[in-house]
A and B are shown apart, each in its own frame.
Chain A
Amino acid sequence: MTRLPDGRFVDDAPYDPNESLHQIERRDLDAPNWLLIWRKFRQHKLGLISGIFLLLSYLMLPFAGFIAPYTPNERMSEHLYAPPQSVHLWHEGRFVGPYVYPTKSEPDLETFQWKIVPDTSRPMPLKFFCRGGSYRLAGLIPSKTHLFCAPEGATVFLWGSDRLGRDVFSRILYGAQLSLTVGLIGITVSFLLGISFGSIAGYFGGKIDWVINRVIEILRSLPELPLWLALSAAVPSNWGPVSVFFIISIILGILDWPGLARSVRAKFLSLREEEYVRAAEMMGASSGRVIRKHLLPNFMSHLIASATLSIPAMILGETALSFLGLGLRAPAVSWGVMLNDAQNLANVEIYWWTAIPMLPIIVVVLAFNFLGDGLRDSLDPYQS
């Protein structure tokens, strides 16, 4: 690069009149699709941040037991409704490292409530990589090591404790395991159903199309929640938490597929007239192969974007069901189950931290919405 006296910049490379003008763009044109999508997606800051946040949240799930200082159903009967404790670093101008103050319950004779008073004279440093309640790492490896736990004779309730003296922070981490995966399982079910019904209807047309279309219309015109309620009321109450969890997520998925099937069908209707489909058929490809190899990859990315946008609805659905007492039940921990305890307004007014589980719900749902928007915008890399 040379700078001319008048301030312009000129490339020093020798000029080749035969060089194609498109040479520079060639690399962009040849780049694989995912690279183009990624480049465009990177510019969508909100979507990128949300995506990273969600990735971290899901990566955290198997290690929830390790990060949480307590196990989800561990009760501290002396610390019912303990307010959130903060972790300090400096004690009287001296660096101690992360520590908490031990707390004591005192009866308040005016309001007839237990008041929890921190003893600010004795800082007690947190222990790291310490032994605590046993859990299974990723549901498989039994372990007792926790990232951090409370020192002897003190507690560490980062977000307070609930009515049974269980740590809200630990429970939120454990609750994430169920609340976040409900959406994934549900969307898988809805994806499978939606793609198969949608592609059958769109590809074959005729009578099958008519029938599937009517089913879609009917299911779409029904209010979801009452049906969810009715279906989950049908789940036998003697089932274990794990099977209830699976059946709930499947129920959420079963009522969600029509929207997806509709868009798949519409796309198939237009795509099946394309030449390459005709060519594949002429060469004797079976309909299953044409659908899987030639048609679906065409708009898989769109489907993924729309799936991202419908996961939040499922997370909210699970929360609502559990909140009403028809979803997951007590020994299981999910954000909805935790909020079930916060139903009582008077309670929330005094012990505001019992309503904290609503924060992760809102944040996760927002993140999914932003991620979905970002994906949708960047999926067509050839569009300016």
Chain B
Amino acid sequence: MILLRYAIYRFATMLLTLLVVSALIFLIINLPPGDYLSNQITELRASGQESGVAKAEFLRHEYALDRPLWEQYMIWVGMMPGPNGFSGLIQGNFGWSFEFDRPVSDIVGESLWLTVLVNLAAVLFVYLVALPLGVLAAARSRTWVDYTSAFFGYLGLATPNFLLALILFYYGHKHLNLPIGGLMDPRFEGLPMSWDKARSILIHLIVPTFVIGTSGAAAMMQRLRANLLDELGKPYVETAIAKGMSPPRMLAKYPLRMAFNPFVADIGNLLPSMVSGSVLVSVVLGLQTIGPTLLTALKTQDQFLSGFVLMFVALLTLVGTMISDVLLVLLDPRIRYEGRDA
């Protein structure tokens, strides 16, 4: 029951955070002077196309861009009736993309799921790589295993993501015949999910996952190694060895469990940087996630589109962090967030 209460509490704080974040994002995307429509109107006026001006003016009114900023915000979120009554993010209306002249939900559509998929794959990759390597590096500390993994770890941390993407892409295609660009074979685009499509997506996922996950896995591995080394020096390990337990069994039974908590909690710290990474990598590799959409939207001041994408990215990290927090409480009965005074 405590767990359930904690989960509810955590969910509530997440919603609150999301609200603050939405205000922050709205402020940031409105920082550049002017907006898409007023820019367009001046441009149309300058070139003497009065007919287009009327449409832009209509859109301006339709999306309440002629109102003060705070009213725009409330309407965007859906806490205040706009020209068409309550219809904002809360009501599931993501707004209109001026650049593409289509509703935002149409444009992002499938790419939302692909974004989640790419990030999920990257998180899985981080765990699958960091866990065995970190344990191995700690158990065989100060041997070549340790040094090699540390070397690659450092290299992974130091190489900019987009460079790694380019390099892997090039060599992956040349030697392993991995596909270049995109998240699926172009034949499958827009088709309903099928086995072939899923397989195509999986093959295309290999390089992006690797690129996004590497730096995270390197950081995670180093931390797991440090934690495990701390635990390995403790008396209970000595006792276990003295008892005659085999080292792998002993390792799995005691110190690993102790070192495991930070391992789970850390994903909350890692997620923001991984989601950032996925945006960048998607742009470089041309994946059909929301990364490239965000870049064009930002460059053209397409405010509803960029606002929604930013919100989605923030939501993704917040949900991920929340899940890791709840998991942590599940894993470790000692951790209680009952407030510091209790």
Contacts and interface: CB of A to CB of B under 8 A. Distances in A.
Interface of A: 214, 217-218, 220-227, 229-231, 233-234, 236, 312, 316, 319-320, 323-326, 339, 342-343, 345, 348-349, 358, 361-362, 365-366, 369-370
B298 A233 contact: yes
B116 to A, nearest CB: 14
Contacts of B28: 227, 230-231, 234
Contacts of B295: 229, 324, 326
Instruction: Name the interface size band of chain B.
Output: 35 or more
A345 B169 contact: yes
14 contacts: A214-B20, A218-B17, A223-B271, A226-B279, A226-B294, A226-B310, A229-B279, A231-B31, A234-B28, A234-B31, A319-B160, A324-B295, A326-B295, A358-B160
B321 interface: yes
Interface string B196-217: 0000000000000000000000
A198 B301 CA distance: 35
Interface string B157-190: 1111111001001100000000000000000000
Given A229-B294, A236-B33, A218 B21 contact: yes
* B contact face: mostly helix, strand, loop, or mixed: helix
A150 to B, nearest CB: 30
Contact of A226 (B33, B268, B276): B276
A220 B272 contact: yes
A221 B29 contact: no
Contacts of B317: 221-223
B170 A345 contact: yes
A312 B21 CA distance: 27
* A contact face: mostly helix, strand, loop, or mixed: helix
A370 B298 CA distance: 36
Contacts of A325: 299
Contacts of A224: 272-273, 276
A223 B158 contact: no
B275 interface: yes
A222 B160 contact: no
Interface string B276-316: 11011001100000000011001101000010011001100
A223 B299 contact: no
A225 B160 contact: no
Given A220-B272, A225-B280, 19 more contacts: A218-B20, A218-B21, A218-B24, A220-B269, A222-B317, A223-B314, A225-B279, A233-B32, A312-B158, A323-B160, A324-B280, A325-B299, A326-B298, A339-B163, A345-B169, A345-B170, A348-B166, A361-B160, A362-B158
Contacts of B163: 339, 358, 361
Nearest to A349: B170
Contacts of B64: none
A230 B299 CA distance: 9
A223 B280 contact: no
A221 B283 CA distance: 22
B154 interface: yes
